[in-house]
Structure 1
Amino acid sequence: MVICKPSQPFLQIRNSCKSSRPPSKDKVVVVLGATGTGKSRLSINLATRFHGEVVNADKIQVYEGLDVITNKITDEESCGVPHHLLGFMNPAADFTSTDFCDRASSALASVVERRRVPIIAGGSNSYIEALVDSKMHGFHSRYDCCYLWLDVSMPVLHQVISERVDVMVDKGMVEEARQYFNPNGDYSKGIRRAIGVPEFDYYFRVEAFADEETRTRLLQKAIYDVKINSCRLACRQLEKILRLRNDKGWNIYRLDATDALQKNAKESSKAWKELVLEPSMKIVNKFLTTPGPNIYTNKVPTLTAMAASIR
C-alpha cells in the first residue's frame, strides 16, 4: 500500500544578489532498483512529502497499454502525484534512449519551472545513465542528483517477483498478452518487447488445436518463463546499478528493503517506514536544503560478495 500524506512544499529560492559563488543547480532525486523492489512506492512517498512529481524511467511503461503486464501505477496508487512519460507512446513505435533523454529533459525542466522537485524512478538504468551523461542536454551543468537505491536480497526478490506474476495472472495478464499476439509480429520493437508478451507466443499459436492437458501445461510453462525472465532482468538491473556505483563513481545511497518485502502486511509497513521511508526522507531533506550535490555515501558489497550470499 502506498502511504499518502499532504505534501510539504519545497521551494528552491535563487539568490538574486551578486555573489562569488557559482549559481546553484536545480535538484533531482533518482530512485534506482531492480524490478519489484518498490521504486514506485518510494517515489510517491517522497513526492507527497517534498512537493514532487515523478518522471518515469521505465522504457516499457512509456507505452500505452498492457497496464497489468507492465505493472503501471494506478490512479489510486499515485495519490494524486503527477507522473510524466507514463503510458503515452504508441505501442508499435520504437522508444530509444535518445528519445528518453529528449522527453525526460523537457519533463524535468517543466517540473523545475513549476518549482517542484523532479523524482526520476524506473528500472531502465541504461536510459537513466544516458540522461545523466547527456552533453546535448547539459544534465551535469543544470542539476545536482541524489541517488537512492532500493536493494533487496535476490532470494527474497525472486520470491516477490514470482508472487507478483501470480497476482498479474489473476488480474488478466494472459488476456492482455493475447491482445498483442500476432503470428508475424516482431517482439524486438515497441511494447511487444515487454516481459509477459513473447513468453505466451507458442501457447497462443497452439491452444486452438491442443487438448486441455496440453493447453494447461503450455500455459503454466509460459507463466513460469515470465517469472524466470523477470528474475533474470532483476539480476541484470542489479549488475548495472553496481557498475554505475563502482565503476562510474555515482554516489548512490543504498537502502536495504529486504525485510519490508518479506514480512506480513502489518510488519511490512512498519519495516518499510523504518528501513526505507524514514532514512530516505532524511537523505532527501538534507539534499534539498543543502547547496551542492548529494553528500551521502555508504558501503556496498561487491558483485562477488552478493553472488556468494545467494548460493
Structure 2
Amino acid sequence: MSQRLPLVVILGATGSGKTKLSIELARRFKGEIIGADSMQVYKGLDVITAKATKEEQALAPHHLIDILQPHEMFTVVEYRNSALKIVDNLISRNKLPIVVGGTNYYIESLLWKILIEEPGDRVKALPAVVNNDHELPNEELHKKLKLLDPNMAKRLHPNNRRKILRSLEVLRQKGKPHSKILEEQQRSQGASSSGGALRYSDAIIFSLQCDKDVLDERLNRRVDKMMEQGLVQELLNFHKMYNESRIADEGFPDYTKGVFQSIGFKEFHPYLMLSEEEKKSEKGCLELEKCLEELKMVTRRYARRQNKWTRNRFLGRRDRQVPPMYGLDVTDLDKWDQNVAQPATQIIQSFISQTDCEYQPLPMQTTTTSTANAEEDTYFCDICERVFVGSFQWSDHLKSNRHKKMIERKNKLSKRENSTK
C-alpha cells in the first residue's frame, strides 16, 4: 500500500539554512531534492550562487541544478514543466519530493495552476504578431502590448520586460490576449486574480525564520566565507570564459539575462573590467573592497525581499487557497535540532501517518500588499516622471518624501522662471 506523501516546500531568505534542512529531510524520509533557483539551474558560478556542494549533493539526489549553459535561456514555463515531471515521478515511486529555493515565480508555478499555458496545450499561431519583440526597447514593448492587449498593459510596469514579453508570447501562441485567458480561467477554475487553484492538495511549506540582525551578520560572514572558497577566482574565470567576449560583441555589459544576472556577478563588474596590472594595484584592492561591500548590501536587501514575498504571497492572501505553512526558527544554530530539524520531521511524519501534530501552521496575517497590484492600473507621476503599478504603490509614492521634495523643487523652479519674465 502506497504512503500518502506530501509535497514539501522549503522557503526562507538566502543564508537561512534551506540546503541543510532539505538534505536532512531527504535522508530521513528517503526523499529527493528539486531545486527552485533560477540561477542554480546554470552551470558555473557555484560559489556565488551558493549551490549545494558536490559533497552535499552526494548525500541526497538533486534535480534541476547545473542543467544549462550560461548563455541558454530558461523560462518559468520550462522550469515548471520540468519540475512537475520530477515531482509526479517521485510521488509515483513513494519518494518524498522536497522543493528548495528562493525564486518566487518558480515556487508559485509549482504550487498553483498559474494561469499560463499548461503542458500539452496546443499552440495556435497568430500571424499578425511578428516575433521581433526581443529586439525592441522597453518603452516600445509596452506600447505594443498596450495596442494588442490594453488590459494586461495596464497591469504591468513599462520596465517589467520579462512579463511584457511573456504576455506578447501568450498572445502569439494562443491567438488571444493574455488578459482574456486569465479571465476565462478564473471563471472556470474559481481561481484568484494572480493564480489558479492549488496544484497539489497535499503540500506542506516550511518557512525558515531568523532575527533580522542575526541574519544580516550571518550573510556578511557568508560573503567572507565565499572569499575563502575562491569567489574572486571563480568570477575572474567565468568573466574570461563567458563575459569578456560578450561585452566586446554587444558593446555594453548586459546583466539582465540568464546566469549573468546573478547577485554577486554584476556587482563585481568594475573590478572585472580592470587590467591585470590594475587589479594588483592599490586601485584594484580598493575596488575589490567596494565590490565586496556592495555584494553584502545587495545580499541583505535580497533576503528582506524574499521574506516580504513569503509574508505577502502566502500569509497575507485571502483570494486563493494556500498550503499550510509552518515557521521554523533558525536564529540560534546551536538549537537547530530542537527548533528546526525535529519539528519539521514530526510535521512530515504526522502527515504521512495521519496522526495529530503538536505543531500548528502559522496564522494568516493582514498585510497592506496582500492582493495589491494583481489587477490594478498603472499610474504615471508627472512630477517625478515615474510609473507605478497598483493603488498601494501609487498611494505610498504620493506620501513619500521623495515626491514631496520633487514638488518643492519644481515649485521653486517655476517661481524662478516666472520672476525672470
One fold, TM greater than 0.5?
yes
Distance apart, 1:79 and its partner CA: 4.9
Q: Determine helix, strand or coil for the equivalent of 2:303.
A: helix
Is residue 2:264 matched to residue 1:206?
no
Counterpart mapping for 1:65-144 below 5 A: 65-134=44-113, 136=118, 140-144=198-202
Is residue 2:20 matched to residue 1:41?
yes
Q: Equivalent residue for 1:152?
A: 210
Q: Equivalent residue for 1:233?
A: 302
What one-letter code is carried by the residue in structure 2 that aligns with 1:12? S
Q: TM-score, normalised by structure 2?
A: 0.60
Distance apart, 1:26 and its partner CA: 5.2
Q: Which of 42, 47, 53 is the matching residue for 2:32? A: 53
What one-letter code is carried by the residue in structure 2 that aligns with 1:167? K
Distance apart, 1:57 and its partner CA: 0.7
What one-letter code is carried by the residue in structure 1 that aligns with 2:203? C
Is residue 2:223 matched to residue 1:165?
yes
| Aligned-partner Cα distance in 1 for 2:292–2:341 | 33
- Give yes or no for contact 1:180–1:197 (8 Å, CA) kept in 2: no
What one-letter code is carried by the residue in structure 2 that aligns with 1:60? M
Q: TM-score, normalised by structure 1?
A: 0.80
Distance apart, 1:180 and its partner CA: 3.0
- Give yes or no for contact 1:28–1:117 (8 Å, CA) kept in 2: yes
Distance apart, 1:203 and its partner CA: 1.0
Q: Equivalent residue for 2:255?
A: 187
Is residue 2:2 matched to residue 1:12?
yes
Distance apart, 1:206 and its partner CA: 2.5
Q: Equivalent residue for 1:245?
A: 314
What one-letter code is carried by the residue in structure 2 that aligns with 1:274? Q
User: Structure 1, residues 50-82: CA drift from partner, whole Å, max 9, x if none?
Assistant: 110000011111111111111111232235310
- Cα 1:175–1:303 shift into 2, 3 Å: farther
- Give yes or no for contact 2:330–2:340 (8 Å, CA) kept in 1: yes
User: Structure 1, residues 147-175: CA drift from partner, whole Å, max 9, x if none?
Assistant: 10111111111111111111111111111
Q: Which of 300, 311, 331 is the matching residue for 1:258? A: 331
Q: Determine helix, strand or coil for the equivalent of 2:198.
A: helix
| Aligned-partner Cα distance in 1 for 2:277–2:286 | 14
Structure 1 stretches lacking a partner, 5+ long: 1-10, 14-24, 261-267, 305-311
Is residue 2:234 matched to residue 1:176?
yes
| Aligned-partner Cα distance in 1 for 2:364–2:23 | 25
Structure 2 stretches lacking a partner, 5+ long: 120-195, 248-252, 369-421
| Aligned-partner Cα distance in 2 for 1:290–1:34 | 30
Q: Determine helix, strand or coil for the equivalent of 1:258.
A: coil
| Aligned-partner Cα distance in 1 for 2:59–2:2 | 22
User: Structure 1, residues 83-102: CA drift from partner, whole Å, max 9, x if none?
Assistant: 01011111111222212111
Which structure is richer in relative contact order (CA contacts within 8 A, separation 6 or more)? 1
Is residue 2:265 matched to residue 1:286?
no
Tell me how many residue pairs correspond in the alignment: 271
Task: Identify which range, 131-140 or 215-224, moves more after superposition.
Answer: 131-140
Task: Identify which range, 31-40 or 135-144, moves more after superposition.
Answer: 135-144
- Give yes or no for contact 1:94–1:189 (8 Å, CA) kept in 2: yes
| Aligned-partner Cα distance in 2 for 1:195–1:93 | 18
- Give yes or no for contact 2:209–2:328 (8 Å, CA) kept in 1: yes
User: Structure 1, residues 104-134: CA drift from partner, whole Å, max 9, x if none?
Assistant: 1011122122220100011112210122122
- Give yes or no for contact 1:207–1:215 (8 Å, CA) kept in 2: no
Is the helix fraction higher in 1 or 2? 2
Q: Determine helix, strand or coil for the equivalent of 2:222.
A: helix
User: Structure 1, residues 9-58: CA drift from partner, whole Å, max 9, x if none?
Assistant: xx734xxxxxxxxxxx7521111101000001001111111110000011
| Aligned-partner Cα distance in 2 for 1:134–1:259 | 36
- Give yes or no for contact 2:26–2:96 (8 Å, CA) kept in 1: yes
Q: Equivalent residue for 1:298?
A: 362
- Give yes or no for contact 1:131–1:139 (8 Å, CA) kept in 2: no
What one-letter code is carried by the residue in structure 2 that aligns with 1:204? L
Look at both structures and tell me which one has the larger radius of gyration over its CA atoms: 2
Distance apart, 1:231 and its partner CA: 0.7
What one-letter code is carried by the residue in structure 1 that aligns with 2:82? R
- Cα 1:66–1:139 shift into 2, 3 Å: farther
